[in-house]
Structure 1
Amino acid sequence: MPLDPYQIASSWLQRYGNFLSSGDIHGAASCLQPDGYLRDLLVFSWNNRCVNGHEKIAAYLGTARELTSVRNMSLSSRPGLAPRLGGFHAMLISPVPDIVSAGFTFSCSIGSGQGYFSLVLTDPGEWKAVAVLMSLAEISGHEEWINEDGVYGGHTLAWTDVNTERCAAIEQNPHVLIVGGGQTGLNVAARFKHMNIPSLVVESNLRIGDNWRKRYPTLALHSPKKISEMSYQPFPITWPVFTPRDKIADWLESYVQSQDLVVWTDSRPLPNPTYDSATKRWTVIIERAGQHVTLTPAHIVVAAGALGAPKVPTIYNRDVFSGTIKHSSEYNGGKQFMGQRVVVVGAGNSAADICQDLSFNGAASVTMVQRSGTCVVACNTTRTLVECLYPDDIDVDVADFLMMAKPILLMQKAYGMMKEQFLEQENAMHQSLREAGLNLTTDKSIFWLAQQRYGGLDVGCAELIRSGKVKIKQGVEIAGFAENSVVFTDESFLEADAVIFATSSESIRDTMRGLFGDSTIDQTDAVWGLDEEGELKGVYRPSGHPGLWFAAGDFATSRFFSKQLALEIKAIDLGLLKL
């Protein structure tokens, strides 16, 4: 008899909901597999948690603030969330073919929520959840709005005058100061606007998008276009699959206008803002185009990315080197290195892009210095995966939610079960890279790598490595310089005219010490990477210092978690969350 996903999902949800509303924590835990995962985003605590196993789930639910108020659970009928059998999303969670997944909605004492679960049939014939996501969606009376009618004062007020007045009010007294006008800061600002949180963005560059324009000319997003959209504003249908540097820069600049965001360019906070615990306000001086402006926001969101100042190692005898030394953040194209011998330190995305660009522009030789193992995945593999996760027939916010329904630790476990199958399509490329001397690591899934930042997508450099046009120096670091060469830690040397350090950057938390001072930053948690539960560290969640937040990540991360950050700030303002 064919399985009925609606009937299976409905029966499970009713049982699970009854256990929660009655406060039966062990009953609720029993609705999951013995090693199942419960991921909670602001429902049972004002934080992100992901617990697995009956004992941990029951213990966590035993401390939940909203347990018995969770009621009115109902299956979703929205495309992408309605009950379904099998499918690509399910296969990412478990290789078992008979899996039923469904989205649902619920109410709680402070508002409404949404969730998602995936069920498998156990030996006794019961459907149990592999994973359950529960997420706070709205706070009652403070819901996110989408658009207004565009008619003001009964057709008596012009839009220009209305917008000018709104901007002036925010500039004089922003509730939130957002530091950084890249995609993260703008996603946060747009979300805050639609949650009625007055916010001002300050960006140090002269134009929005300059953080992209100043990078190397051949740079393009390695993620397909749908996953790289901004909140509320999809790309045109004619948009390229992988967005070039200048197109994304111009898009961000136009986004400020189309979303009516309040942004100051050529502006930056000056060191040592102070926080008054009595008034719960910051005092911060902004240098705006040479003028000083004092602001008193309740919150500061550092949205300058997870990566801070460029990280260039201190190396012996650097001053004796007669050639060029740059960090990858300063690299603006390979034409200036035509005919030169170039050493690129690093083996991630930026290093591979730079090596490819140098080779194309006629560098005499290009050598990639790889210090440790790197994961390399073909760009087409990633494109296929992402386009399955973000198909054209479902809205991007639904796709984001489905991604959140897959705990990273569970995805890593599933990857271990399907590793050989996944890597089979990469075998030819991986074999050629190993033969060329590259140290490859394949023990982590690409979902894990995306959050830990070690690895890269191949967009052409692998073929250059295979052919010998880009050489590999593996397992060493630069120990020192001579006039026309670099010396490695294995005491070998290589003649060089230029060295480019694609060595990432320090944590934005460390960079912010220069702005906030040690006493403030020492109160905050680590920023970026994954904690023991597979949740992002220190971003879009309380930092440890009141009124100070960090936001970082790719387009999809900031698009989804900007809503969570808005809910947290709104909850503080309403007295629901006390830090």
Structure 2
Amino acid sequence: MAPYAGTDGVLYTLPGSLPQSTVPDGLNPETAAIPCIARLNFLTTADFTEGALWKDLYALTGLPRTLFSARTIGAAWKDVYAVHKPWNFAFTPGTAEVVRMRPDSSWVEARFTFETKGCPAAFCSGMLSLVQDGSGVWKIWILRTILERLKGHPDVDVPNPRVQTINMRNNEFDCLVVGAGQCGLATAGRLQSLDVNYLLIEKNENIGDNWMLRYDSVKLHTVRAFAHLPFERTFPAESYPELLSRHDLAKGYKLWCDKLGINVWLSSQLKSGSRDEKKKKWNLVIRRKDGETRVSARHLVLSTGATGQDAAVPAFPGREKFKGLVLHSSEYKSASQWKGKSGVVVGSANTAHDICDDMVEAGLSSITMVQRSRTYILPVEFAHVGDKLLLAKCLLEKYNDAISTDLADRIEYTTPLSIASQIATMHLNAMVRQNPERFDALERVGFKVQRYGNPIFTIYENGGKHYIDVGTSAKIAKGLIKVKSDSLIAGYTKNGLIFEDGSEVKADVIVLATGYETSFRPTVVRILGANIAAQVEDFWGLDREGEVVGGYKPIGHPALWYMGGPLGHSRFFSRFVSLQIKAELSGTPLIRYSRTPSNDSGVIGNAGIGESHL
């Protein structure tokens, strides 16, 4: 189901829909939940609705997987049950509730815990979403299972502050993590919790420079509660504003690192590396201030961003003609030095809006946004309203000071994307219909609005080409920022840009807010060489089950990992990358289940060093 004409992508091909089911008023949800959880010990296809979904995060499949239909789930459960021998399924008291999404769609939801006896043995958790069939029998609509802890090892969710210098063992590490942004910090903290001998390296001079070196006015467009690092509320309400600035983020990161004693080398950049397959380790060269240092590591985690590091700079013809200043948004710091001048910003997503807003505040004589494609606008207040658990079922409404971040993450990232997409679309589109003037005002001044969009599609498959409106849309509607959207750029002129319709927009400065190259592969080629790059997947986008391509799982080389994505992904999925590394180092790698609806043979195997069944 696409929310607007012309939308395509994997997301809209995924099976699954909201149930046509109504929970009776006055029902005690525990009377439905407790018997169904008890049946998990003897689960069969008959226990599921025909259109059921099972989202497993490493507990029984060893991977992030979403399986669809009672037949597929029943067969898969039988396979993994024989290997992992899950047992001790127990209802979590106080978690059963009725969720009423709309008058004709409601269900019972409850959480549970269980254990596995396989190798590795583990503690796990799960959630059930239950509906009644035509005869009044409660059946599973959605099953979610999560790996929580490896038995015999520390808890990945409990901090382990380092009180003494880590044992370097002649610069030999179990794991090297590259990049100390949110992803790298989260992974380092999790590895430390698991007593893994790791090293984190960061090319910049200070923790938080990945934000401090961006433009001066940058702020998050998502709520403060979504930005926490693992283990704690890194940005408590009494100390930080709701929309965090670069200074806030850098401060929070630094305090978190100091508190935990994170083992990080600053001003250190991974220059090159090679794989010694005989010894099962990476030999790596790190460039530091005082020269090059060689280290070895069994695992290598690249946490250098959700996409590549190279700016995407459009090659409009005639650049040499323009007498003003042209820079990419990656080079932009502030508009304060351009007061009284004319500015043009090419692009219409979050960064372009921020820079245009900055230009307004700096007093430029004219500001023009060049919009090259229709842009999804999500008013920030649409995404962050309410603090009740029912509203927390909706995308981006889970993260606040009333709900624990751990619980919010488990709700967010165990909801199959086809279902999360429908819930988000239903709620957000209803708000759009109730507020038409907000979008009509933009259309009247020439801004092409995609008002019935979907943030899940935008994030996973459309490269983040959206704007979470924190105030700049009103300035566009008032004419403080002009919009050029009726023709494509033909090239530069002496005084600005010329368009295919023959019109010209004059400028003293042109900022290209055109994003970054989307592939991770050039980074792998540059550091590890073309042979390693040829073995691995790229990163981001969705596979046919609605899981992140190349994300948080083996990517073709068993000792190389990607860690990237939005703030929530970095916090939550760092736990699973770290658990997989710990399991391998302990000699009990996670068992991967590779059965798919089109591969009914079923393949189960250890995905350790040198062996991967995907």
TM-score, normalising length: structure 2: 0.84
Asked whether the equivalents of residues 37 and 130 of structure 1 are also in contact (C-alpha less than 8 Å), the reply is yes
SS of 1:221 mapped into structure 2 = coil
* Structure 2 unpaired stretches of 5+: 1-24, 387-394, 590-606
Residue 279 of structure 1 is matched in structure 2 by: 279
Asked whether the equivalents of residues 178 and 303 of structure 2 are also in contact (C-alpha less than 8 Å), the reply is yes
Q: Distance in 1 between matches of 2:442 and 2:298?
A: 52
2:410 pairs with 1:394: no
Asked whether the equivalents of residues 307 and 504 of structure 1 are also in contact (C-alpha less than 8 Å), the reply is no
Q: Distance in 2 between matches of 1:479 and 1:318?
A: 11
Residue 24 of structure 1 is matched in structure 2 by: none
Q: Distance in 2 between matches of 1:203 and 1:140?
A: 32
2:564 pairs with 1:549: no
Identity %: 28
Q: Distance in 2 between matches of 1:405 and 1:518?
A: 35
Asked whether the equivalents of residues 158 and 231 of structure 2 are also in contact (C-alpha less than 8 Å), the reply is no
Q: Residue 341 of structure 1 aligns to which amino acid in structure 2?
A: S
Q: Distance in 1 between matches of 2:450 and 2:433?
A: 14
Q: Distance in 2 between matches of 1:445 and 1:171?
A: 50
How many angstroms does 1:517 deviate by?
2.3
Q: Residue 562 of structure 2 aligns to which amino acid in structure 1?
A: F
Residue 509 of structure 2 is matched in structure 1 by: 498
Distance 1:417 1:253, change over 3 A: closer
How many angstroms does 1:220 deviate by?
1.3
Distance 1:435 1:129, change over 3 A: farther
2:580 pairs with 1:568: yes
Residue 596 of structure 2 is matched in structure 1 by: none
After TM superposition, list the pairs within 5 Å mapping 1:21-420 onto structure 2: 27=44, 29-61=45-77, 63-64=79-80, 69-77=85-93, 82-86=95-99, 91=101, 96=104, 98-109=106-117, 110-144=121-155, 163-164=164-165, 166=166, 168-169=167-168, 172-234=171-233, 235-238=235-238, 239-271=240-272, 273-308=273-308, 309-384=310-385, 388-417=397-426, 420=429
Q: Residue 448 of structure 2 aligns to which amino acid in structure 1?
A: N
Aligned pair partner of 1:523 in 519, 525, 535: 535
Distance 1:419 1:212, change over 3 A: closer
Cα deviation, 1:232-290, whole Å, max 9, x if unaligned, reads: 1312341211111112112212221111111111100113x101222110001101114
Q: Distance in 2 between matches of 1:251 and 1:415?
A: 30
Asked whether the equivalents of residues 149 and 156 of structure 2 are also in contact (C-alpha less than 8 Å), the reply is no
How many angstroms does 1:206 deviate by?
1.0
Q: Distance in 2 between matches of 1:111 and 1:407?
A: 23
Asked whether the equivalents of residues 318 and 493 of structure 2 are also in contact (C-alpha less than 8 Å), the reply is yes
Asked whether the equivalents of residues 125 and 146 of structure 2 are also in contact (C-alpha less than 8 Å), the reply is yes
Asked whether the equivalents of residues 301 and 549 of structure 1 are also in contact (C-alpha less than 8 Å), the reply is yes
SS of 1:525 mapped into structure 2 = coil
Distance 1:421 1:33, change over 3 A: farther
Asked whether the equivalents of residues 280 and 298 of structure 1 are also in contact (C-alpha less than 8 Å), the reply is yes
Q: Distance in 1 between matches of 2:243 and 2:425?
A: 29
Q: Distance in 2 between matches of 1:233 and 1:490?
A: 55
Cα deviation, 1:478-514, whole Å, max 9, x if unaligned, reads: 3321221212344432212111111111135134022
Q: Residue 437 of structure 1 aligns to which amino acid in structure 2?
A: G
Distance 1:169 1:68, change over 3 A: closer
Distance 1:284 1:426, change over 3 A: farther
Cα deviation, 1:170-226, whole Å, max 9, x if unaligned, reads: 772221111101111101100110012121111111111111111122211112122
Q: Distance in 1 between matches of 2:275 and 2:502?
A: 51
Q: Distance in 2 between matches of 1:492 and 1:278?
A: 64
Asked whether the equivalents of residues 375 and 456 of structure 1 are also in contact (C-alpha less than 8 Å), the reply is yes
Q: Residue 292 of structure 1 aligns to which amino acid in structure 2?
A: E
Q: Residue 580 of structure 2 aligns to which amino acid in structure 1?
A: E
TM-score, normalising length: structure 1: 0.89
Cα deviation, 1:110-158, whole Å, max 9, x if unaligned, reads: 21211112222333322233322111111111231666999xxxxxxxx
Distance 1:122 1:423, change over 3 A: farther
Q: Distance in 2 between matches of 1:115 and 1:198?
A: 30
Residue 11 of structure 2 is matched in structure 1 by: none
Residue 13 of structure 1 is matched in structure 2 by: 37
2:487 pairs with 1:487: no
SS of 1:33 mapped into structure 2 = strand
Residue 2 of structure 1 is matched in structure 2 by: 26
SS of 2:578 mapped into structure 1 = helix
* Structure 1 unpaired stretches of 5+: 20-26, 151-158
How many angstroms does 1:63 deviate by?
4.7
Distance 1:171 1:366, change over 3 A: farther
The structure where helix makes up a greater share of residues is 1
How many residues end up aligned between the 2 structures? Answer: 550
Distance 1:254 1:137, change over 3 A: same
Distance 1:510 1:498, change over 3 A: farther
Asked whether the equivalents of residues 182 and 209 of structure 1 are also in contact (C-alpha less than 8 Å), the reply is yes
Q: Distance in 2 between matches of 1:7 and 1:37?
A: 22
Asked whether the equivalents of residues 437 and 473 of structure 1 are also in contact (C-alpha less than 8 Å), the reply is yes
Q: Residue 102 of structure 1 aligns to which amino acid in structure 2?
A: A
Asked whether the equivalents of residues 383 and 397 of structure 2 are also in contact (C-alpha less than 8 Å), the reply is no
How many angstroms does 1:294 deviate by?
0.5
SS of 1:218 mapped into structure 2 = coil
Distance 1:349 1:3, change over 3 A: same
Q: Residue 428 of structure 1 aligns to which amino acid in structure 2?
A: E
Distance 1:470 1:528, change over 3 A: same
Residue 473 of structure 2 is matched in structure 1 by: 462
Residue 23 of structure 1 is matched in structure 2 by: none
SS of 1:169 mapped into structure 2 = coil
Asked whether the equivalents of residues 382 and 431 of structure 2 are also in contact (C-alpha less than 8 Å), the reply is no
Residue 538 of structure 1 is matched in structure 2 by: 550
Q: Residue 103 of structure 1 aligns to which amino acid in structure 2?
A: R
Q: Distance in 2 between matches of 1:170 and 1:400?
A: 36
Q: Residue 47 of structure 1 aligns to which amino acid in structure 2?
A: L
Residue 389 of structure 2 is matched in structure 1 by: none
Asked whether the equivalents of residues 432 and 452 of structure 2 are also in contact (C-alpha less than 8 Å), the reply is no
How many angstroms does 1:337 deviate by?
2.3
How many angstroms does 1:313 deviate by?
1.5
How many angstroms does 1:318 deviate by?
1.4
Q: Residue 110 of structure 2 aligns to which amino acid in structure 1?
A: A
